Chains A and B, each alone.
Chain A
Amino acid sequence: MRIQEVAYARSSDKGDHVDISVFAYTEESYQKLSQMLTAERVRQFFEPMGIGAVECYPVPNLLALKFVVKNALDGGGARSIRADNQGKTWSGALLRLAQEQWGG
């Protein structure tokens, strides 16, 4: 199963942090996602990008998981020299993580 079939996501910056929300389409996929997408799993995934701690805030009411990836943008969007200096595409990257973990 591919995650983008069961959820979507949006991400952006706040200072040096990337803020990512993942939204499940159904209660069932929300349950699966919340088991799989722990803060630690997300931290491991984004580690190659050079990051600090990851916080996870589940919002079951909205079938959503919120992740805050700390110190992720080389000091912030205005200081970063990356093409994606605001972490706008980290949402897309995270969708791919779950896809790989769920298997084909």
Chain B
Amino acid sequence: MERIRIGAGVGFYGDSFLPALEIIRQGAADFVCFEDLAELTLAILQKDRSRNPQSGYTKDLLPMLEAGLPDALRNHIRIIANAGGLNPQAAGQAVRGLAKKLGLALKVAVVSGDNILDRLPSFLPFSHMETGESLPEQVRERALFANVYLGAWPIVQALQQGADVVITGRVADPSLFLAPLVYGFGWDWDDWDRLALGTVVGHLLECSSQVTGGNHGGHWDAVAGLDQIGFPIADVTQDDQVIITKLPHSGGKISADTVREQLLYEIHDPTAYITPDVVVNVSGAHLEDLGNDRVKVSGIKGGERPARYKALLGYEDGYMGQGMLGYSWPDALKKAQATEKIMRNQMARLNLPVEEIRAEYLGYNSLHGPLASAQCQDDLNEVYLRLAVRTPDRRAAEQISRLMVPLALGGPPTASGLIGVDRVRGLTGLWPSLVERHAVDQLVTVSVEEVTS
């Protein structure tokens, strides 16, 4: 291929897929890639799967494909999604069922082998990536999921076998987008600068609207059309020109400012952004604003990929119980603080087994905590107390809102807006590790099945 256009599908599980459908409807891309898995997402999908063994993939996959597949096939757009989560096989089966229902002929690929929870014994000691500590038995017993961040190669294989839809489990975010470039341009697996460039394309697109003016920290109020924000499209040529753009008439904005903001997002060391495919150096990046929501990206360098894959184990780590109660002027903050004290006394009297108590005041310091400015605290119009606890005991977590409710009558005055009660959340601890590449690669399977209409 001489030119490849890649569209962003979703940036996380819960993101809107309508902008991607518009890209597909207009035929404005050759591939659309959906990045569904954040660190927390696998914990959510594990809960789904524990209730129903046929679930464990993201619930937006089928509605998205039902709306988008006919146009995608008509416009020769291939879809890549790590929406398979913890159950890519079941997701693939569901996609094939959907295609039959819609009367569509296509090839569906499933990439699996990233899920190593059942094979954990062969990966021990599964030492912590940063501390070097061996995986403790009590953490292993509470494991919810353990997945390896795979690179682009299994997806490339699926595309080579003609897949129209590729469903994967935990593939590293940018690798989803790198794969069609490696496939389409025939890049070599040791062509580090090109792999790095393709990885940067993926990194810029993987958070969808965060590069098209969403969550823009600069002149955010000058970004128009957030009510119909467009998702990014990368236009890449065989001679390594990369332009990040979006559909004309979609909302949002692409400028050197929005692109550099996403370029550095969450990558830690800008000279060594580690991915399964390549170690990327973005410190020499050059961003040329071509106008009309088009930015050209160059100056990306790459180095040899790491010898080991990153794996992430999530484990049950207690519960959070919380409640919120609002107070109005006068003395809004003082009243909310008094309620915090009442709650603390009551919890102590009940001997609730809490490991951490956190009191935050919405409208005053719930986001910045001790860093919030104290200047306005005496004259707040209103403030909400949010009281949250960490506890190993689910029933103790449920107690928090029960203690808070009576304080609407039996506490300081002008209490109102009792919201957010009874929301007990399971907390997930994370244990990152590094695993041998070959030990994982031999577990990876790429299966392509054809559906005939």
Which residues of A are interface residues toward B (Cβ below 8 A)?
Answer: 8-10, 12-17, 19, 21, 23, 25, 45-46, 48-49, 55, 57, 59, 61-62, 64, 66, 68, 74-79, 81-84, 89, 91-93, 96
Q: By the criterion CB–CB under 8 Å, are A49 and B369 in contact?
A: yes
In the complex, 19 of the A-B residue pairs with CB atoms within 8 angstroms, ordered by the A residue number, are: A10-B217, A10-B265, A16-B430, A19-B268, A23-B257, A45-B371, A57-B269, A59-B264, A59-B283, A61-B284, A64-B260, A74-B356, A78-B428, A79-B429, A81-B320, A83-B367, A84-B367, A89-B368, A93-B368
- B218 interfacial contact with A, CB 8 Å: yes
- B451 interfacial contact with A, CB 8 Å: no
Residue of B nearest to A60 (CB): B283
Q: By the criterion CB–CB under 8 Å, are A8 and B263 in contact?
A: no
Q: Which residues of B contact A91 (CB under 8 A)?
A: 217
Residue in contact with A82 in the complex, picked from B263, B369, B428, B430, CB distance below 8 Å? B369
Q: Complex: how many Å from CA A34 to CA B212?
A: 27
A45 to chain B, nearest CB (A): 7
- B314 interfacial contact with A, CB 8 Å: yes
B266 to chain A, nearest CB (A): 5
Residue of A nearest to B257 (CB): A23
Q: Which residues of B contact A61 (CB under 8 A)?
A: 283-286, 299
- B104 interfacial contact with A, CB 8 Å: no
- B275 interfacial contact with A, CB 8 Å: no
Residue of A nearest to B388 (CB): A81
- B237 interfacial contact with A, CB 8 Å: no
- B33 interfacial contact with A, CB 8 Å: no
Residue of A nearest to B262 (CB): A10
Question: Which residues in window 403-453 of B have CB below 8 A to A?
Answer: 427-430, 432
Q: By the criterion CB–CB under 8 Å, are B39 and A81 in contact?
A: no
Q: By the criterion CB–CB under 8 Å, are B215 and A10 in contact?
A: yes
Question: Which residues in window 250-277 of B have CB below 8 A to A?
Answer: 257, 260-261, 263-271
A86 to chain B, nearest CB (A): 9
Q: Complex: how many Å from CA A48 to CA B388?
A: 19
Q: By the criterion CB–CB under 8 Å, are A14 and B428 in contact?
A: no
- B233 interfacial contact with A, CB 8 Å: no
Residue in contact with B39 in the complex, picked from A8, A77, A82, A83, CB distance below 8 Å? A77
Q: By the criterion CB–CB under 8 Å, are B266 and A19 in contact?
A: yes
Q: Which residues of B contact A57 (CB under 8 A)?
A: 268-271
Q: Given known contacts A8-B219, A48-B369, A74-B356, what 16 new A-B pairs fall within 8 Å (CB)?
A: A10-B261, A16-B430, A17-B268, A57-B270, A61-B285, A66-B267, A75-B429, A76-B430, A78-B428, A78-B430, A81-B358, A81-B427, A83-B367, A84-B368, A91-B217, A96-B373
Q: Which residues of B contact A10 (CB under 8 A)?
A: 215, 217, 261, 264-265
Of B265, B286, B388, most A-chain CB atoms within 10 Å: B265
Q: By the criterion CB–CB under 8 Å, are A82 and B360 in contact?
A: yes
